[in-house]
Amino acid sequence: MSANKGKAFDKSMKLLMVGDSGVGKSCLLLRFVEDKFNPSFITTIGIDFKIKTIDFNNTKIKLQIWDTAGQERFRTITTAYYRGAMGIIIVYDVCDQNSFDRVETWYKTVQQHAKEDAQVIIVGNKCDEEDSRVVSTQQGEQLAQSLGVPFIEASAKTGLNVSDVFYKLSELILEKSGDDFQQPQAEDSVDVSKGASNSQSSSNCC
């Protein structure tokens, strides 16, 4: 551990959040990083990112989490960010059947563009809105099982299971990589001039 003495973290991971527009990707990220919830809808334009360092089994891990736009017109921009992702979070809204129906399409896109060893997790967001729910927990579990990936329901509004999503994905990456863990390459690091970090307001949570 002497080699890491003085370092703010021991390992770093690049994670990517994908899913249809309006499912709550940005809200989940804001809740995890800053423990805040913004009920107004901030539409991600292109791509945005946040960084948070977590402690996992006595290891400090810096998570570089990229939040992508779900709109079709930004799809060609965001696919370039799959390349260096070590973990990918596919988000749908349990109150939106269409967003759930498109999870398999997102998964195919991940398979096409991401690294072969990238770990994937499916997240059903807005599970606090039981009165508006149209996708059951069982449906989410069955879909994830059919794709062979983990599944978690979460709520950016209440904070339920939000941290579990990122800790679980980090655990999967560490288990998969073992002693062969590699830090993200330099070309995959944050570049604000290329990243967007742009947004515009609308309604509902993103």
Place of tokens 């999967």: 172
Per-residue model confidence as pLDDT tens for the chain (206 residues): 444 455 789 999 999 999 998 999 999 999 999 999 987 655 555 567 899 999 998 899 999 999 876 555 445 556 677 888 999 999 999 999 999 999 999 999 999 999 999 999 999 999 999 999 999 999 999 999 999 999 999 999 999 999 999 999 999 999 988 756 656 554 343 333 334 444 443 335 55
Domain range holding 160? 9-179+194-201
* 51 in any annotated domain: yes
* 119 in any annotated domain: yes
Cβ neighbours, 10 Å, residue 179: 4
* 89 in any annotated domain: yes
Is 69:78 a contact under the CB 8 Å cutoff?
yes
CA–CA separation, 32 and 163 (whole Å):
6
* 184 in any annotated domain: no
CA–CA separation, 146 and 148 (whole Å):
6
Place of tokens 């991971």: 13
pTM (whole model) above 0.85? no
Tokens found for residue 89:
């979070």
CA–CA separation, 125 and 96 (whole Å):
10
Q: What pLDDT is recorded for position 84?
A: 86
Place of tokens 């991600």: 44
Query: Looking at the 3D structure of the chain, how many domains does it have?
Result: 1
* 187 in any annotated domain: no
- C-alpha angle 11-15-18 in degrees, rounded to nearest 5: 175
* 186 in any annotated domain: no
The enclosing domain of 61 has a CATH number of 3.40.50.300
* 133 in any annotated domain: yes
* 93 in any annotated domain: yes
Tell how far CA 22 is from the center of its chain: 14
Adjacency order of strands within the sheet including 59-68? 47-56, 59-68, 11-18, 87-93, 119-125, 151-153
